[in-house]
Amino acid sequence: KFYNAHYYAQNMSLVVIGAYPLDKLQAKVVESFSAIPSLPRIEENDEFYNGMNVQPYRINPCTWESKIKTNSNSDTHPRTPITKFGMPFTPTSLNRIIRSIPVKDKHSLSITFQIPPQYQYWESKPCDYIAHLLGHEAQGSL
């Protein structure tokens, strides 16, 4: 009942990053999130509140579609497609081992893999597959 009372569009914000044109991203967001109700799914006087005098928090009424349209500021902030940025590391900075002397007694390792954009394979989720292989903690795993 807590979910039904507090998880609704007016209490949410959404950030979307993608290398697709804005129109495509907007259409996908509307398609994916328009089913989220804009108001709570239960009444404020529901037995869940049990006399606590708690009211659901409401932001200004809106829908996902109107929120997207009003937050579109392409006139004031021109967008550069992510594909124009290129890869984050140059070929000369790859294939290196960097050794450092730690300043804290901390046991952690960060590894960064540079791979080409995977957005055209979003349905098969190749990055999730790689993450599973690297993160699996069974005997004999990495």
Measure the CA–CA gap between 39 and 45, rounded to whole angstroms: 14
Q: State the pLDDT confidence band at 59, using cuts at 50, 70 and 90.
A: very low
CA–CA separation, 1 and 51 (whole Å) = 15
**Mean pLDDT over residues 50-72, rounded?**
49
Answer whether residue 121 shows pLDDT above 60: yes
- How much is the average pLDDT of 109-124? 80
* Euclidean distance between CA atoms 33 and 14, whole angstroms: 10
The domain locations on the chain are: 2-71, 82-135
- pLDDT grade for 57, boundaries at 50, 70 and 90: very low
pLDDT digits (tens, 9 = 90+) for 62-96: 444 555 555 544 454 455 555 566 666 777 777 77
Q: Could you give the C-alpha distances from 129 to 20, 29, 133, 136, in angstroms and in order?
A: 23, 24, 6, 11
3-state SS track over 15-32: CCCCCCCHHHHHHHHHHH
